[in-house]
Chains A and B, each alone.
Chain A
Amino acid sequence: MTRWRRVGAWVSGLRVRLVLAFALLGVTTTVAVASGSYFQARNVILQQAQDAAVMSLTDQLTKVYPIAQLPPTQDDLELLAQRLSDRESFAVVLYRDMRAQGGSEITDPLTPELRQEVRDGRIAWQRVSLAGQPALLIGTQLALDRPDGTSRPSGVEVYSVRNLVPEQQSIDQLATRAWLTGGLSLVLAVLLALLSARGVLRPVRDLSRAARRLGEGDLSTRLTVRGADELADVARTFNDTAGTLERQVGELRRLESDARRFVADVSHELRTPLAAMTAVTDVLDEEAEHLPGDAGRAARLVSQETQNLTQLVNDLIEISRFDSGTARLALDDVDVAAAVTATVRIRGWLDRVRTELPPGVVARLDPRRLDVIVANLVGNAFRHGAEPVSVRLRADPDWVTIEVADRGPGLDPEVLPHVFDRLYKADTARTRSEGSGLGLAISWENARLHRHGERRGSLVAGNGTHGGAVFTLRLPRETADTGGAP
């Protein structure tokens, strides 16, 4: 279907239409001119042949006079017929019932209507087809002069049958030339059409290509404006539009990167005071036990929130590193089951998580990032879902898939498209102490950072068939260290 549609589009395309129009124009003109001149030339040739034949016959017949005997004898007629016959023509002489013919095997070449005209007293001629060949019949009576200037028919009719094959050949040659001319002009017309179609279509093609490039995101695409025709106007408009677009997109990008850099800078600036504060949170925690009442609670609160703030700032810095494309993978050949087990064990979740981890799955990936992702997914499952939480590992030669599922209420369909958004809070009642709100966004970026050729890691959220949220992490088994493409 599509192929036919494409063929249809090609047939009704500008190029084909132009070629057809040119060809039609060329052919029509050629046909008109060629056929006009052909007909004219044919008529001239035939006219000349006829006139010459009539003249020749007349000349020969004047030599028959004076006529001394009427009625003629058969011998007289035969003699006359012989005299009037030559290579190109033969004569038929009639007198009443007598008939004599010079040369030629053709019997009765004469047409009744010609004989009628001759008997009625005119020189008459007619083109006929004799044995498949064109021939010219000329007929006349022999009349006798009278002293008063009038003449009387003698009753002797002379017909000359002239072969028109040479004329036919000339005319055929003319026709051949006409066809040839027509064919050449058709070829010329098609060539011209292709040439002009190219001239018209090249800017159109350029425009189409440029528009596609622009659509693919190459905003610096411009067209070379040639000439001052309508297509040049289109090209100019295109360039103006592309320029405006490029400026606006550039402005937007600048604003966005400014904002991101600001976040990154702020985060870095926050780090130094946080480093000092974090260093002493342990001191606060220890002292809080000895501090009475409010002072103790305040100390614990400061300690707790310092750690949360540290986590938030660390996450912001991590995110800003993804955005700026400076995030790098530290690849290692990792036994995935062991790595996941370690992640779960270190955080003290071993008793609460059902793991399904086939041993021996070795993949090349960044173990720290895998740890971050798995810890975040399992932590989220505990916080927002319900136990039991399960972690399943599957592997094929190309991919490693880790599925983290819980038995909670699952994800709201309205939330689903936003779970990986930054600082997105599905539950408005959620407090910040439960996480920075960047965990899933960082996990998503971490997953996508793993790539190998066309394969790229992914993290997908969904709901299981038995309820509960299911997060599926898919990483290429052989990650190439392509560095920080965002």
Chain B
Amino acid sequence: MSQVLLIEDHQTVRDGLQLALTRQGHTVHAVGTGEQGLERLRTTPSDVVVLDLMLPGMDGFEVCRRIRQLGDLPIIMLTARNDDMDVVAGLEAGADDYVVKPVQARVLEARIRAVLRRTGGDSRRGGDRAGLEQHGALTIDRAALVVSKDGTPVSLAPTELRLLLELSHTPGQVLSRQQLLEAVWEHGYLGDSRLVDACVQRVRAKIEVDSSAPVYIQTVRGFGYRFGPL
């Protein structure tokens, strides 16, 4: 069904997750270190990476950054805690989502599916409006899922693209973090708003002229984010 690269140093955890994900129908390739994982990515394509942050040798954040440099492959972090700096650092390094260990297989499976849906395989939201949209210097092609700035395509990770599409779908309308979490990340309950904040930061870095004075994605303090008005 999909190719999952699992990078996790603990043998038993690795085996357990591999077992469970395989039963869900994924093709899981499990490795113990970041180096092995990167090596594997060079030779074999994967649809999603499940990455433990605590790795021997090259740590998870570095692996995350390297994978981001290679392309827009979705990354789900495995973290030991859900409210420490690791989460923020991981999100800044480019991760799309995270789950906290110990995690039940069905939770991880749901996140994998949500991430995969964003990669364009299922592009309902982008497809229901054809044609090009022009927002200032930004051109958004919802059909082709391409965003260009001054004619130059901008490389956006699937989650970043999905967030931008979600926000630009209703220009000038404020969306709360929880709304965005539900729409983009498909978190059915109160999610971690830091996911939104980190992703907004990444998108701003790619499309804004000055990310400290954003024009496209504006923060509405006390409410959430808003696309424009330009």
A and B touch in the complex (CB under 8 A): yes
Cβ of B84 and Cβ of A346 under 8 Å apart?
A: no
CA distance A326 to B15 in the complex (A): 32
B113 at the interface (CB under 8 A from A): no
Give the residue name and chain of the B residue nearest to A303 (CB): B104
User: Which of B84, B102, B223 has the most chain A CB within a 10 Å cutoff?
Assistant: B102
Q: Restricting to A255-300, which residues have a CB under 8 Å from any CB of B?
A: 268, 271-283, 286
A272 in contact with B13 given A279-B19, A279-B104, A282-B105 (CB within 8 Å): yes
Cβ of B103 and Cβ of A279 under 8 Å apart?
A: yes
A232 at the interface (CB under 8 A from B): no
Cβ of B10 and Cβ of A276 under 8 Å apart?
A: yes
A residues near B83, Cβ cutoff 8 Å = 321, 327-328, 330, 368
Q: Restricting to A49-96, which residues have a CB under 8 Å from any CB of B?
A: none
A267 to chain B, nearest CB (A): 11
A275 in contact with B177 given A282-B20, A330-B83 (CB within 8 Å): no
Cβ of A333 and Cβ of B223 under 8 Å apart?
A: yes
Cβ of A368 and Cβ of B192 under 8 Å apart?
A: yes
Q: Which single member of A275, A335, A343 contacts B10 (CB below 8 Å)?
A: A275
B124 at the interface (CB under 8 A from A): no
CA distance A167 to B94 in the complex (A): 111
CA distance A319 to B1 in the complex (A): 41
* A-B interface contact total, Cβ < 8 Å: 96
B126 to chain A, nearest CB (A): 27
Cβ of B23 and Cβ of A283 under 8 Å apart?
A: yes
A342 at the interface (CB under 8 A from B): yes
CA distance A273 to B13 in the complex (A): 7
A339 at the interface (CB under 8 A from B): yes
B residues near A278, Cβ cutoff 8 Å = 16, 101-104
CA distance A272 to B222 in the complex (A): 39
A residues near B157, Cβ cutoff 8 Å = none
Cβ of B16 and Cβ of A276 under 8 Å apart?
A: yes
Interface string of A321-334 (1 = CB under 8 A from B): 10000111010110
B43 at the interface (CB under 8 A from A): no
Interface string of B54-90 (1 = CB under 8 A from A): 0000000000000000000000000011111000000
Give the residue name and chain of the A residue nearest to B18 (CB): A279
A338 in contact with B102 given A317-B81, A346-B189 (CB within 8 Å): no
A residues near B189, Cβ cutoff 8 Å = 342-343, 346, 371
A residues near B223, Cβ cutoff 8 Å = 333
Cβ of B12 and Cβ of A276 under 8 Å apart?
A: yes
A367 in contact with B103 given A275-B10, A282-B20, A326-B84 (CB within 8 Å): no
CA distance A268 to B54 in the complex (A): 13
Give the residue name and chain of the B residue nearest to A370 (CB): B190
CA distance A5 to B11 in the complex (A): 75
Cβ of A276 and Cβ of B15 under 8 Å apart?
A: yes
Cβ of B190 and Cβ of A281 under 8 Å apart?
A: no
Cβ of B194 and Cβ of A330 under 8 Å apart?
A: yes
A residues near B15, Cβ cutoff 8 Å = 276
CA distance A274 to B100 in the complex (A): 12
A416 at the interface (CB under 8 A from B): no
A residues near B27, Cβ cutoff 8 Å = none
B17 at the interface (CB under 8 A from A): yes
Interface string of A298-322 (1 = CB under 8 A from B): 0000000001001000000100010
CA distance A335 to B194 in the complex (A): 17
B178 at the interface (CB under 8 A from A): yes
Cβ of A277 and Cβ of B104 under 8 Å apart?
A: no
Q: Which single member of A279, A317, A332, A335 contacts B13 (CB below 8 Å)?
A: A279
Cβ of B103 and Cβ of A275 under 8 Å apart?
A: yes
Cβ of B190 and Cβ of A310 under 8 Å apart?
A: no
CA distance A327 to B178 in the complex (A): 22
CA distance A385 to B161 in the complex (A): 48
A362 at the interface (CB under 8 A from B): yes
B residues near A335, Cβ cutoff 8 Å = 176
Q: Restricting to B95-110, which residues have a CB under 8 Å from any CB of A?
A: 101-106, 108
Give the residue name and chain of the A residue nearest to B222 (CB): A333
| Apart from A268-B80, A321-B81: 9 A-B pairs, beta carbons within 8 A | A277-B16, A278-B101, A279-B17, A281-B104, A332-B177, A339-B190, A368-B82, A368-B190, A371-B190
9 closest A-B pairs by beta carbon, nearest first, are: A279-B16, A278-B102, A276-B12, A275-B102, A346-B189, A276-B16, A333-B222, A282-B105, A275-B101
Chain B positions within 8 Å of A, measured between CB atoms, are 10, 12-13, 15-17, 19-20, 23, 80-84, 101-106, 108, 176-178, 188-190, 192-194, 221-223
**Selected A-B contacts with CB under 8 Å, 23 pairs:** A271-B80, A272-B13, A275-B103, A276-B12, A278-B101, A279-B17, A280-B16, A282-B20, A282-B106, A310-B102, A321-B81, A327-B83, A328-B83, A328-B84, A332-B177, A339-B178, A342-B178, A342-B189, A362-B222, A364-B222, A367-B178, A367-B193, A368-B190
